[in-house]
Amino acid sequence: MNAKHPIAIERISSPTPAFFREHYLEKRRPVVLTGVVSHWPAVTRWSADSFKQRFGDHRVVVERSRASVPSNDPLEFLRNRYYEEARLGDTIARMMSGEHPPGAYYVTYANIFDAAPELLGDFESPPQTWGIPPHYPRALQDRLTLRPGFWLGPAGTVSAVHFDRQENFNAQISGRKKWTLYSPQDSRHLYYPALDMPTVIFSPVDIEAPDARRFPRFAEAQPYETILEPGELLFIPAGWWHHVRTLELSISLNFWWWTLASVGTTARVNYHFARKQLLRILGRQGATAASMPVG
């Protein structure tokens, strides 16, 4: 646990898109928007049961773990993670059986919309409504927006702390998730860049059970927390660290999009990635990690 008391992520109700952009997107502050996606048919209609019945034959890519005992240690988590394709119906049945440890099956950023395009009518694109200035031409808006991602996982599933290169809206459709965020200014306290991690966007710190001897600086990190309820939309600025614990069988949708700020985040990640490769070539991986500048 952090030494610092968590700050609750702000919640604002039904803001205008211009207000959101000025006070949160441009100021790089996370926020929960209420009353903006709660009317989506997805929120009132979608459930794991209904997906099992209606879309059970669709094939999705499922995140799996090789670990017999699940570990929340990020390095272990990444080493044990693999992906396989499976029927959505079988995957949901396994999640609901209670016979598998959390982390055994997690549908992450799946694209079920090509196979079931009718689902696209059940929600809107928050980046295009809230994030991208309305005067941008439609073709540019489309290019700045990545395809929506469908997430479905059982209680106890954990996404280890990492950050994304793009701006992110995460809409909770059913079930609840606990989110813990840290500002990019805390990157040093999260031991970024960790050159021994398989991917530099992950921190090596298990924020729920930190090893104070290995990661003493983590005590300085300031957590921001919220429990995201169905019908709520969380904005995570590019570069903000996030850790997610699923509290109940959950469906969510996420929407990444590009801004100038997110291109800056990408440039820093690429810089560290290049240094990591160079250190590997020189056989000095990890040796100079502590003296690396923070991106």
Ligand X SMILES: O=C(O)CCC(=O)C(=O)O
Question: Could you tell me which of 234, 153, 173, 233 has the C-alpha nearest to residue 42?
Answer: 173
Q: Residue 39, SS3?
A: coil
Q: Does 164 bind ligand X (CB under 6 A)?
A: yes
Query: Please, what is the minimum distance in Å from the beta carbon of residue 128 to ligand X?
Result: 18
Report the site for ligand X in 39-98 (rule: CB under 6 A).
none
Site stretch for ligand X (CB under 6 A), options 91-99, 163-171, 194-202, 281-289: 163-171
User: Of 67-75, 79-87, 129-137, 164-172, which part binds ligand X (CB under 6 A)?
Assistant: 164-172
Which residue from 172, 254, 259, 262 is in contact with ligand X, where contact means CB under 6 A? 254
**106: alpha, beta or left? (left if phi > 0; alpha if psi -120 to 50):** beta
Give the CA radius of gyration of the chain: 19
With respect to ligand X, which residue has the nearer C-beta, 154 or 289? 154
The contacts of residue 64 (CB under 8 Å, 6+ apart) are 81, 82, 83, 84, 104, 105, 106
Task: Pick the closer one to ligand X by CB: 94 or 292.
Answer: 94
Q: Does residue number 166 form part of the binding site for ligand X (CB under 6 A)? A: no
Q: Which residues, including other chains, have CB under 8 Å from residue 167's CB and lie 6 or more apart?
A: 25, 127, 131, 235, 236, 237, 238, 256, 257, 258, 259, 261, 262
Pick one of 2, 65, 128, 159: the residue that binds ligand X (CB under 6 A): 159
- Of 65, 91, 125, 168, the one binding ligand X (CB under 6 A) is 168
Q: Which lies closer to ligand X via its Cβ, residue 43 or residue 244?
A: 244
Contact flag: residue 151 with ligand X (CB under 6 A):
yes
User: Six-digit token pair at 148?
Assistant: 């929506």
Closest separation in Å from C-beta 235 to ligand X: 11
CA angle 149/155/156 to nearest 5° reads: 100
Indicate which single residue of 36, 228, 238, 244 sits in contact with ligand X (rule: CB under 6 A): 244
Phi, psi of 192 (to 5 degrees): -95, 140
Looking at the Cβ atoms of 36 and 244, the one nearer to ligand X is 244
Candidate residues 91, 128, 170, 265; the one interacting with ligand X per rule CB under 6 A:
170
Beta carbons of 70 and 102 less than 8 angstroms apart: yes
Angle of the 88-97 helix axis to the 48-55 helix axis, nearest 10: 150
Site for ligand X (CB under 6 A): how many residues? 10
Rounded least distance, CB 159 to ligand X, Å: 3
- Residues 119-138 within binding reach of ligand X (CB under 6 A): none
- When the beta carbons of 168 and 289 are compared against ligand X, the nearer one is 168
195 or 228: whose CB is closer to ligand X?
228
Contacts of 163 (CB under 8 A, 6+ apart): 184, 201, 238, 239, 240, 241, 242, 265
Coil, strand or helix: which one is 292? coil
Task: Note the residues at the interface with ligand X (CB under 6 A).
Answer: 151, 159, 164, 168, 170, 177, 242, 244, 252, 254
